[in-house]
């Protein structure tokens, strides 16, 4: 049995042709799967019964199973999925106001939309110090079909509020699973499938330079976000071992090149951790590092408490002071609201809890 989502529209048309069925059924099949949320071929009522049977004999639609769901008071839902080989991956559904259609003002405030945060690997090999995803090591890359499974599930799970944004910020490093992630993104973006605009899809990387260089040559307007979390090599190498391979000077040089080539902004994620990277000196170093980047934004996030790793957020006054320092230095800076604090919302926490049991 094969995952039908591994096929492109063209490949499915060719398959139908080889069976002697009209090619136009391919569009109908994908519309049922990606737009109407069908998980069974038998429900595709406008297809001939014989074709539905042939499809069900050769293909499956959904390759994962929901094994846990935690819902926060703010509407954030964390989902834990089991893959066919029993590996576990997490996805998060984050409701937002006013993001749909880019509307602002009263009309925008009334609209609700959902951002889906998805995983690209089972486990992770990069062992960032504050991330629970890597505590059990790397298991394997997800296939494009498995990545699409997560999107499909989140879309169907949020029928009331449309899924309008997808961010690769769950477990795993997307640029370490480049081909499958790009293949999935093309389907997320495709009009015949999820039809989510490229600018509403974000790849979040820990700073894999060869991947960023590859991405800048793609004809895709996806958003790029880099997890920075420290502005000195000493601290960054300590909390993000990937920095030993791709140090800050090389990474920032690569960012200059990316911006020059794509004319697109890069967002730098900076998790503020109490006693680690939230003091004035850290803010000054961050300004010095980023001030010459033409299109850059810093997204500050107060750390979610992770008891296993003894990580706590700084005091509110320290967070405000850090943000103000960046703002006064001319850095485009935002402070991301913490979501789902009453559930195991930090990357990998839910999976970790299950694997411990
Ligand atoms: S932050 Fe991302 S790259 Fe780093 S360990 Fe966690 S999942 Fe891996």
Pocket probe mutation, ligand 1, options 120, 141, 172, 243, max atoms within 8 Å of Cβ? 172
Give the residue, out of 121, 141, 171, 206, with the most ligand 1 atoms within 8 A of its beta carbon, to mutate for a pocket test.
206
Nearest ligand 1 atom to alpha carbon 169: 2
Q: How many C-alpha atoms does 14 have within 13 Å on its Cβ side? A: 5
Q: Which atom of ligand 1 is the closest one to the Cα of 240? A: 4
Region(s) of the chain under CATH 1.10.150.530: 2-60
63-113 confidence digits (pLDDT tens): 999 999 998 888 889 999 999 999 999 999 998 876 444 545 555 555 679
pLDDT at position 129: 80
Low-confidence ranges of the chain (pLDDT < 70): 98-111, 134, 159, 337-357
- pLDDT given at position 347: 54
Could you tell me the distance, in angstroms and rounded to a whole number, from the CA of residue 170 to the centre of ligand 1?
8
Residue with tokens 């769950």: 170
What pLDDT score does 304 carry?
Answer: 81
User: How far apart, in whole angstroms, are the C-alpha atoms of residue 206 and residue 243?
Assistant: 9
Per-residue pLDDT reduced to its tens digit, 51-61: 999 999 999 99
In the reported structure, the alpha carbon of residue 106 is separated from the centroid of ligand 1 by a whole-number distance in angstroms of 37
Ligand 1: list residues with CB < 6 Å.
124, 126-128, 131, 133-134, 171-173, 206, 227, 347
Query: What are the Cα distances from residue 228, in Å, to 125, 148, 236?
Result: 17, 27, 8
Residue-level pLDDT at 131: 79
Q: Which CATH architecture has domain 64-356?
A: Alpha-Beta Barrel (3.20)
Output the CA torsion sign for 310, 303, 81, 121.
negative
User: Given this model, what pLDDT does residue 336 score?
Assistant: 81
Rounded-to-integer distance, Cα 252 and Cα 285, Å:
13
Count each helix (H run) and each strand (E run) in the chain, helices first. Answer: 13, 14
Looking at 3.40.50.80, 1.10.10.10, 1.10.150.530, 1.25.40.850, the CATH number of the domain 2-60 comes to: 1.10.150.530
Digit-coded pLDDT (tens) for 160-198: 789 999 999 999 999 999 999 999 999 999 999 999 999
pTM tops 0.95, yes or no: no
């Amino acid at each position: 049995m094969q995952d039908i989502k591994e096929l492109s529209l063209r490949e499915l048309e060719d398959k139908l042709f080889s069976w002697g069925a009209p090619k136009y059924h391919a569009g109908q099949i994908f519309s049922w799967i990606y737009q109407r949320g069908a998980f069974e071929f038998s429900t595709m009522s406008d297809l001939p019964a014989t074709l539905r049977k042939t499809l069900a004999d050769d293909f499956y639609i959904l390759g994962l199973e929901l094994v846990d769901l935690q819902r926060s008071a703010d509407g954030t839902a964390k989902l834990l999925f089991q893959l066919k080989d029993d590996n576990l991956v997490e996805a998060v559904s984050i409701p937002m106001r006013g993001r749909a259609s880019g509307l602002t003002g009263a009309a925008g405030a009334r609209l609700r939309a959902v951002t889906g945060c998805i995983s690209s690997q089972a486990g992770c090999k990069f062992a960032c110090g504050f991330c629970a995803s890597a505590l059990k090591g790397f298991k394997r890359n997800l296939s494009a079909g498995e990545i699409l499974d997560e999107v499909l599930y989140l879309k169907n799970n949020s029928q009331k509020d449309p899924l309008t944004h997808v961010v690769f910020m769950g477990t795993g490093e997307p640029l370490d699973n480049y081909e499958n992630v790009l293949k999935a993104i093309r389907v997320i973006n495709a009009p015949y499938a999820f039809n989510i605009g490229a600018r509403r899809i974000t790849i979040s990387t820990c700073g894999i330079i060869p991947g960023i260089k590859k991405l800048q040559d793609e004809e895709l307007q996806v958003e790029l976000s880099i997890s920075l979390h420290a502005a000195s090599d000493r601290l960054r190498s300590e909390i993000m071992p990937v920095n030993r391979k791709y140090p800050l000077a090389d990474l920032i040089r690569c960012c200059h090149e990316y911006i020059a080539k794509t004319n697109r902004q890069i967002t730098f994620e900076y998790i503020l951790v109490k006693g680690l990277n939230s003091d004035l000196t850290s803010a000054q170093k961050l300004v010095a590092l980023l001030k010459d980047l033409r299109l850059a934004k810093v997204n500050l996030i107060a750390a979610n408490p992770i008891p296993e790793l003894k990580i706590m957020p700084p005091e509110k006054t320290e967070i405000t002071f850090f943000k103000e320092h960046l703002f006064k230095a001319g850095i485009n800076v935002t402070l991301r609201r913490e979501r789902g604090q009453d559930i195991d919302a930090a990357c990998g926490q839910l999976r970790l809890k299950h694997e411990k049991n």
